[in-house]
Amino acid sequence: MTNNPNNESCTYKQGLEINCSPLMAKRLNFIFQTANTAPKDKCVEWPYNRDQNGYGKIFLNGKIERVHRVSLSIKLGRPLRHGMWAAHAPVICHNPPCINPNHLREASRTENMNDKIVDGTHVYGESCHSSKLTEAQVLAIRKSSETQVILASIYGVSQSQISAVKTGRNWGHVK
């Protein structure tokens, strides 16, 4: 197989990208960075293609996958068990485009339905606490080749905060 930069296809196996176009590699990097370093208290919304229900979708290994499932399996270090769902955790998050694995759990269909009942007694929506970056996140931001806008969305901070981290104006002591 040849690598076609215009082709939105990508093979992804056991944590390795194989034969991915630059576009797809960028999207996978977004998922890796979110899966490994996203803050606990902030939703990370998938900024690319979504399905009609608002869930992020990506064309991987020849089929359409839901991005929040991919993100949770990276966090778990294994594929989801057969028949299990990546459920947005009740109360914490009821936000289909959110792929923050801290807001997801592996659940059976029944558990997922029960979550929705629990959620019914609470106000829907993402939690909007302003988050403070950890040192690990600061290092990941400095290393990342994502745009500042994308990084701001992953870490739930403003673009100017990302800029300040990148230039060392903030967090200068973290090397």
Residue 74 interacts with Zn ion (CB under 5 A)?
no
Residue 93 interacts with Zn ion (CB under 5 A)?
yes
Report CA-CA distances (Å) from 30 to 99, 102, 157.
10, 15, 16
Q: Which of residues 30-49 bind Zn ion (CB under 5 A)?
A: 43
- The strand pairing partners of 18, in sequence order, are 11
d(CA 46, CA 52): 14
> Rounded to the nearest whole angstrom, what is the least distance from the CB of residue 79 to Zn ion in the complex?
22
Q: Nearer to Zn ion by C-beta: 100 or 144?
A: 100
> Rounded to the nearest whole angstrom, what is the least distance from the CB of residue 122 to Zn ion in the complex?
14
d(CA 141, CA 147): 10
Q: Which stretch binds Zn ion (CB under 5 A): 20-28, 79-87, 93-101, 147-155?
A: 93-101
Q: Which of 37, 71, 73, 95 binds Zn ion (CB under 5 A)?
A: 95
Q: Nearer to Zn ion by C-beta: 28 or 44?
A: 44
d(CA 10, CA 117): 37
Residue 103 interacts with Zn ion (CB under 5 A)?
yes
> Rounded to the nearest whole angstrom, what is the least distance from the CB of residue 55 to Zn ion in the complex?
12
Q: Nearer to Zn ion by C-beta: 40 or 169?
A: 40
> Which parts of this chain interact with Zn ion (CB under 5 A)?
43, 93, 95, 98, 100, 103
